[in-house]
Amino acid sequence: MNAKFTISYDGTSYLGSQTQPNGLSVEDKLQEAFKSININTKIILSGRTDRDVHSTGQVFNCQLPAFWKNLNKLKSIMNKHLPDSIKIKKIVEVEDSFHSRFHAKKRVYRYIVTQQELSVFNSKYISFYEKIDEEKIKEAISCFIGTHDFEYFHKKGSDKDNTVRIVFDAKFYKYKDIYVFKFVANSYLRSQIRLMVGSLLKLSEGKLSIEDLKAQLKKEKRVFRIPASPYGLYLTKVFY
């Protein structure tokens, strides 16, 4: 039986979502939980998240033994075997042809920042920036919407032959004392969102212009290279 899992996790506990030689990844912990209940299967993630990046809606699919008909029971048992930093939210049966990565249409990420002083309890889940010009960012973030070659907005060494991505929506808004960057795209390059957010925050400080941002997006010049902190970045939803 092919099953689709929706999970959430605290990325600060792991070296990313995909399996690592040292076993310190979200996928490795999921495999440990599966093996503890005698399920040997291959996990197919909708996409990778880097070290310290969180998720409230990561998706993966895998094959389950036919006798696991009660998926609610499986969810409960798996959550007992998983660390507190990983939680299975939902399991549903899907068609055998379903592939969580290749069939994903849109992926939603949010990056949250605040001007309020951080505490020891939230410093790994939100980023602090003292200067935020809301109107500047709202104007500039729309530049990312559309089909672009994001070669200058990704981390070198990620070995991607195709660096063209489609951004369906990009918004910046305030909720109480939190500012939210929201991106909806077909997929993302490594560190793409953190580089986009970093450039927007630098623009907000007046150290980068919207013309600079557009020039980098057109690959005319690379004026910004420093990604924003991973703390504050969340994969929130995957659409199929």
The answer to whether residue 50 is catalytic is yes
C-alpha–C-alpha distance, residues 144 and 146, integer Å: 6
Chain mean position to CA 96: 26
**How many Cα atoms within 13 Å fall on the side-chain side of residue 179?**
21
Decide: 98 and 4 in contact? Cβ < 8 Å.
yes
**Residues 6+ away with beta carbon under 8 Å from 142:** 170
The closest of 99, 236, 231 to 169, measured between CA atoms, is 236
Contact 71, 3 (CB under 8 A): yes
Handedness of CA 185, 149, 154, 225 (dihedral sign): negative
Using DSSP bridges, classify how beta strands 44-45 and 2-9 pair: parallel, antiparallel or unpaired. Answer: unpaired
Which string of b and e fits 177-186 if b means at least 16 CB within 10 Å?
Answer: eebebbbbbe
Under DSSP, the state recorded for 227 is: P
- Tokens 């920036």 correspond to what residue? 129
Phi/psi of residue 123, nearest 5 degrees: -65, -20
| Annotated catalytic residue within 10, 28, 50, 52 | 50
Rounded Cα distance, 186 and 108, in Å: 9
Active-site annotation, residues: 50
